[in-house]
A and B are shown apart, each in its own frame.
Chain A
């Protein structure tokens, strides 16, 4: 572990960052680089770095570090960078509240409950997994039903296997990665069951995590019953119809001792809610402008707390933006105003940020609702007098799209609202 305890907590911090994953550490570094003198990252684990520390597989960093790294390598690098730039990292601590005057209420074993002064704050609390309760799988409640990410933590950090014969519900990337990980440990993975007619994880993970090991992927199929008194003994699975309703007459039993659920992530926004920030009902994260500033002046947000990313590299990019503006805000420099509201249209689940400026270059992140071949991303004004199209090869809900939007693209646009659609070509 990389030692990171600050000597003392006192005085005024320019920027306090809640959450020390790649988003928080990246924001802290960017705040320092933007001239903020005192920057503190508060993290609840023993060592900052976030969930990447349990993601021991490779596939991170191709954009941000221009080389392929494993999760612990990526986390180690961002933590080292932050520490070398003089960021204070307080681990084993919680940010309990950000008060209207930006004082931060902290709790830690070492310092108890403390209020510290801050000039700007960054929210980077990440996300947590949806559990069995979120989709109400019927049946008994034996031991052996757990989220894929929790199983990942058990296996990779604690060296415990969750079971010997595992079924996986949901084809999110974490579930796919765990299918391979458990197979490498000699565990039998009997199949991955996905409600939707398409996989929810990246295609590369379908290939290298399932097909490489002949693990079956059952699309349009879900778990309809969990059996077992003390421990999972089997699950009943059934295909679903066009309305995603299980066809019980075609159900079959799958003997297993463990059911992993990989059914999505929820941005962890208790703190944002307590602060009464504006939240986007689709992303469940804070509404942010193009400087990643939330509805409260001087409070910025980045990473999975804003919207779920599939690549940490884009988290780092977003963190750079949030941290830079937080660092500047702490020195009294407000981010420039946005002049265009952005909204999600046809086949677009959401887009982030929620506003932008016709004067600057932006990256807009969006996710489609359903897969589509040969499509076009269209930016248009509400009166239809302005449209600009960008062709894309194929789009999947599992793959976040990043769209560069800048003054050149918008030079004939004079309105104050733009809509993004993803349409067939």
Chain B
């Protein structure tokens, strides 16, 4: 008996090319083929997106004593897509003291999602 193959479609968000990805799966959602990617990252994204979609998140946190009231930050790794809004809500009242350097960790593994929150802009004392 030949297993029935179903195809899921994704659009790659890895770069502006926006490749149209197809993931073929057999029984129990086992991936048998991935098509439509133009690079290794695209192929990895397709598999990841099918099994466990994740996103990098960029937001701002409060800044005290700096030239601006907000500090831009990002996650150090992609977090589960379904937890993105919860993560942002958890960081809403966080305030950091200036000065801050690029790459500085401002929150360690919030919500235990496996990603730290790091600053993306240098902010001196203002």
Interface on A for B, CB 8 Å cutoff?
Answer: 1-3, 46, 53, 56-59, 62, 70-73, 76, 155-159, 181, 183-186, 202-204, 206-208, 212-213, 310-311, 399
Contacts and interface: CB of A to CB of B under 8 A. Distances in A.
B12 A3 contact: no
Given A56-B120, A208-B55, A212-B55, A156 B16 contact: no
Question: Which of A70, A71, A157, A311 has the largest count of B CB atoms less than 10 A from its CB?
Answer: A70
Given A70-B74, A156-B70, A158-B68, A186 B89 contact: yes
B32 interface: no
B58 A70 contact: yes
B18 A202 contact: yes
Contacts of A2: 122
Contacts of A158: 68-70
Interface string B80-106: 010011001100100000000010000
A98 B72 CA distance: 36
Nearest to B49: A207
Contact of A399 (B16, B67, B72, B123): B16
A58 B122 contact: no
Question: Chain B interface secondary structure, helix, strand, loop or mixed?
Answer: loop
B18 to A, nearest CB: 4
B11 A203 contact: yes
Contact of B123 (A1, A59, A212, A311): A1
Contacts of B55: 208, 212
A185 B89 CA distance: 7
Question: Which of B18, B56, B126 has the largest count of A CB atoms less than 10 A from its CB?
Answer: B18
Contacts of A206: 11
B121 A73 contact: yes
30 contacts: A1-B67, A1-B124, A56-B58, A56-B59, A58-B56, A70-B58, A72-B102, A73-B102, A76-B102, A76-B121, A76-B122, A157-B70, A159-B69, A181-B59, A183-B85, A184-B85, A186-B88, A186-B89, A186-B92, A202-B18, A203-B11, A204-B12, A204-B16, A204-B18, A207-B11, A207-B13, A212-B81, A212-B84, A311-B16, A399-B16
Given A159-B62, A204-B12, A310-B16, A56 B69 contact: no
A206 B14 CA distance: 13
A156 B70 CA distance: 7
Given A1-B67, A56-B59, A207-B13, 12 more contacts: A1-B122, A58-B56, A70-B72, A71-B72, A156-B60, A156-B72, A184-B85, A185-B59, A185-B88, A204-B11, A208-B13, A213-B85
Contact of B67 (A46, A73, A159): A46
B89 A159 contact: no
Contacts of A156: 60, 70, 72
Nearest to A49: B121
Question: Which of A2, A46, A72, A186 has the largest count of B CB atoms less than 10 A from its CB?
Answer: A72
Contacts of B18: 202-204, 399
Contacts of A202: 16, 18
Given A207-B11, A399-B16, A184 B72 contact: no
Contacts of A3: 124
B57 interface: yes
A56 B16 contact: no
A75 to B, nearest CB: 8
Contacts of B121: 53, 72-73, 76
A204 B13 contact: yes
Nearest to B60: A156
Given A56-B120, A57-B58, A70-B74, A62 B102 contact: no
A56 B72 CA distance: 6
A183 B84 CA distance: 10
A399 B17 CA distance: 8
B13 A72 contact: no
Given A186-B92, A208-B13, A159 B123 contact: no
Closest 7 CB pairs of A and B: A203-B18, A72-B121, A56-B72, A204-B13, A184-B88, A159-B70, A70-B120
Given A46-B67, A156-B72, A159-B69, A62 B13 contact: no
Contacts of B14: 204
B1 interface: no
A331 to B, nearest CB: 34
A152 to B, nearest CB: 11
A88 to B, nearest CB: 19
